[in-house]
Structure 1
Amino acid sequence: MKLHQLNTLAAIADTGSIRAAARSLGLSPAAVTKAMRELEADLHAPLVVRGASGVAFTEFGRALVVHARLVLGQLQRAQAEIEALRGAAAGKLSIGVTPWVALTFLPPAVQRFRERMPDVQLEFFEGLLAVVQPRLRDGSLDFSIGRPAPASPQSEFQNVPLFSTHAAVVARRDHPKAGCRTLLDLEDEQWILNWDPASRESMSNNLFVKRGMRVPRTIVLAHSLAIVLGLLAHTDMVSIFPWPLVEVIRAKENLWALPLRETLDETIISITSRRGAPTSPAAACFLDCLRETIDTGARSQDPEQRRLFHSIELLL
């Protein structure tokens, strides 16, 4: 396998056709086709199926695309690290960010980073597991910041705890149960939760079952914070938000943290990356900026800032 062949394969996967891949690479369609045929001959396996509507990848092709992206991404990181060592930090940093972090700590952290590495191109993805895990796997994402996926010593990902925070049950201010004091009073309510489907059972057990409650009959899973906010504002649904997000949106969105006697379990926010992948200078700088943002906010003279950060405990 040659590097230009892997680059061609990744371009076809990104663009969906031979002609579009040729345009993106500045080559002729014949050159792209030749590179693919040579790669298939080297591997003794068909990689793409050509049709009137474009190309489709075979099982062999889909497997190789993952490795091709990983190799190409790692080479880009190596080049960026060499440039950083030479004092010419550039390149790209791709990060997955859980939505509530994006609304709270991300803006000042990005400002700090831009001051230190203005030539590094930043790219953000909403950090739901279904979005970030495939990108972490193929190397197109450097790391993600959010709730960690279940991990084991054999996992392809590693999780490093960044900070912990408490959470609150929220509803609109004029909700019929706005003044309730126990979770048990909410057993028959409709819940809308920004949970990953794979974690639903374990998180339901932690939140409801271990407190002697039955799991609510109606739990709507939402893969967008905007959907959660819209439904909370116009229905009798309830949800769970980390406290920093409650501080940011409760006035603007007319939401209310219910005054429950119970303390909800801490939420751990971790840095998730591909196991064994080195941390680039740009990634290390960004994480430093995020930690400094949280630390500075907790010690701010501005009461609004202190309220935002009061529930945060740095773990790294």
Structure 2
Amino acid sequence: MLKLQHIEMILAIDRAGSIRAASKQLGRTQPAVTKALRQAEAELGVAIFQRAPSGVVATEDGRAILHRAGVIQAEMRRMQEEIDQRRGEGTGRITVTVSPLAANRLIAGAIKRFRKRFPKVHVQITGGHEPMAFGPVRDGVVDLVIGPEPQGKDVAGLSVAFLVETPVSVITGESSRWRSCTDLAQLVEGDWLMIGTQARLPYLQRHFTSRGLNPPVARVTSESISSVLAMVQDSDFLCTYPGLLLEQTLAQWRIRALDIRPPIRPARIAITTASDRPPTPALRCFCDCVSQEAANVFQGAIP
């Protein structure tokens, strides 16, 4: 059976890109790391790495093994953090993926609340978008996502705690040829861009298909909301945008929100965590802080 020391070794080799570099990082001799790798490969019956010009790279089997090894290592870390936090040491780490709405309206207040209870826990925050943000939660790489809730098959393996419902607006430049449009059907042939990656395209297109319209294809996508707004400003670009961010956005950018009738179906913002992984005390506290902040910030918007 593969031992924890083997998992540590193969993950270190993968990060370092060579056995020599991994041995330095681990403070072990190169022969000891090589021996651990050979033991792991013998136990599993497959080669994990193969030689490359500058070191080693994972084989196809190796990539699957390394993925599982990373999940195991993350769970071992969480187990130790659980124990430490129950003892009152209050250390550990939380990884959070936030949507633009959460990044701008929720995360600062939530962090302020959280640090009063767990000042020593490190919080790593990254931006991300559905549906790609949910895979790392299932795998244990990310602890939670604050953003649009998963839908359909994306819900599998996840636990969802609703926070707030945001209107979805369509924005364009102040001088855009679309600035007076009120019917989504008029915008099908428009030049659309999208916040996020191409994986989010169904989230844009469903607004059109639900009305029996042929959906547009966003030819430009960006994970940077600032770059999206810069492209929309003073242009004919069209983009869906969270309504709860509109007020501050319109005050800073030369952008107009279209008065689409009937309105586009709103988006539900939620905290998404793994359903099969018990949260640490710090993670439970962090989720509570996010919920409290959402209740405070969006008092009139929560149904």
In the alignment, what sits opposite 1:274? Answer: 274
In the alignment, what sits opposite 2:24? Answer: 23
Residues 173 and 255 of structure 1 are in contact (CA less than 8 Å); yes or no, is this contact kept in structure 2? yes
Identity within the alignment, %: 29
Give the gaps of 5 or more residues in structure 1: 300-309
For residues 271-308 of structure 1, the C-alpha deviation after alignment (integer angstroms, 9 at most, x for no partner) is 33333011121111111111111212245xxxxxxxxx
In the alignment, residue 232 of structure 1 is paired with which amino acid?
Answer: V
CA distance in 1, matches of 2:230, 2:116: 35
2:302 to 292, 303, 313: 313
CA distance in 2, matches of 1:280, 1:195: 30
Residues 173 and 179 of structure 2 are in contact (CA less than 8 Å); yes or no, is this contact kept in structure 1? yes
Residues 189 and 218 of structure 1 are in contact (CA less than 8 Å); yes or no, is this contact kept in structure 2? no
TM-score, scaled relative to structure 1: 0.86
TM-superposed CA distance for 1:219, in Å, is 4.7
Residues 164 and 266 of structure 1 are in contact (CA less than 8 Å); yes or no, is this contact kept in structure 2? yes
SS at match of 2:210: helix
Residues 91 and 118 of structure 2 are in contact (CA less than 8 Å); yes or no, is this contact kept in structure 1? yes
SS at match of 1:236: coil
1:3 aligns with 2:4: yes
SS at match of 2:233: helix
In the alignment, what sits opposite 1:249? Answer: 249
TM-superposed CA distance for 1:234, in Å, is 4.4
SS at match of 2:56: strand
Check 1:84–1:55 CA distance in 2 against 1; reply closer, same or farther (3 A cut): same
Check 1:21–1:157 CA distance in 2 against 1; reply closer, same or farther (3 A cut): farther
Higher mean displacement: 62-71 or 8-17: 8-17
Q: Equivalent residues in 2 for 1:1-316 (5 A)? A: 1-129=2-130, 132-152=133-153, 155-194=156-195, 196-201=197-202, 203-204=204-205, 206-216=206-216, 219-299=219-299, 310=300, 312-313=301-302
Q: What count of residue pairs does the alignment treat as equivalent?
A: 302
Residues 164 and 294 of structure 2 are in contact (CA less than 8 Å); yes or no, is this contact kept in structure 1? no
CA distance in 2, matches of 1:158, 1:77: 18
In the alignment, residue 302 of structure 2 is paired with which amino acid?
Answer: E
| Two-structure CA RMSD over aligned residues (Å) | 2.4
Higher mean displacement: 148-157 or 99-108: 148-157
Give the gaps of 5 or more residues in structure 2: none
For residues 258-281 of structure 1, the C-alpha deviation after alignment (integer angstroms, 9 at most, x for no partner) is 223321101022333333011121
TM-superposed CA distance for 1:247, in Å, is 2.0
SS at match of 1:90: coil
TM-score, scaled relative to structure 2: 0.89
For residues 160-185 of structure 1, the C-alpha deviation after alignment (integer angstroms, 9 at most, x for no partner) is 43332111111222223223322233
In the alignment, residue 269 of structure 1 is paired with which amino acid?
Answer: I
In the alignment, residue 249 of structure 2 is paired with which amino acid?
Answer: I
Residues 105 and 297 of structure 2 are in contact (CA less than 8 Å); yes or no, is this contact kept in structure 1? no
Residues 74 and 140 of structure 2 are in contact (CA less than 8 Å); yes or no, is this contact kept in structure 1? yes
Residues 127 and 145 of structure 1 are in contact (CA less than 8 Å); yes or no, is this contact kept in structure 2? no
Check 1:154–1:216 CA distance in 2 against 1; reply closer, same or farther (3 A cut): closer
For residues 140-193 of structure 1, the C-alpha deviation after alignment (integer angstroms, 9 at most, x for no partner) is 211212224444499344444333211111122222322332223323321112
